[in-house]
Structure 1
């Protein structure tokens, strides 16, 4: 019997997801709220009729105890949690920009504009360096300061920008 119930739940979930994906963006939130409310009421009704509502009250008691004991900790940690949340939001917004994530923009540092002299200084080259010299210096530096190897996002972005500036000129 349990296999039949699980099969029906999986099939119902499959069709619910297909229906959800076909909805337009705006009404989908309203429909979701409506369907979740209806589903919750039906679940409570089934649990009440089958006599299995007791575990829900036990779970609510356990949740209330966790909230009661965890609330002072959350209040003390609120400033750190807020800073973490703001950092997370800004990093998500910055990573949404194609090709600009971690480039140092919005951090109060230097702007993205770099002169040819600055680019030569960053890569450690002299005026008149060939394209092969630029590429070789870039590879050597980026292999040391790449973020995947524990380096700095800022330095990697400056090195990449220096290479772009020099190869463009």
Structure 2
């Protein structure tokens, strides 16, 4: 019973010292957080345009450029590279493995367009 009381006292002392530390550093922390929020860069269309991800949706009729973007290859890639990229993408996006049927259909359409 005495050891339980000692452990409870040590726990309360730890909580007390922790709270004291947080309260003493909190004004500085609050000021740093406020400065970080006010100095955040604004997101606009110019900064998003330089992103490495394609921002558009699918076009009604697939083009060679869109097919290359889907398979993440060059539009002038040879048939072997097209097939390897298709195989790699289908392994992760196949409907039997939890992928989307729509994405796998788009992958197949892209492969067929570039494989010609």
More helix by share: 1
Higher RCO (CA-CA < 8 Å; seq separation 6+)? 2
**What TM-score do you get using the length of structure 2 for normalisation?**
0.48
**What TM-score do you get using the length of structure 1 for normalisation?**
0.33
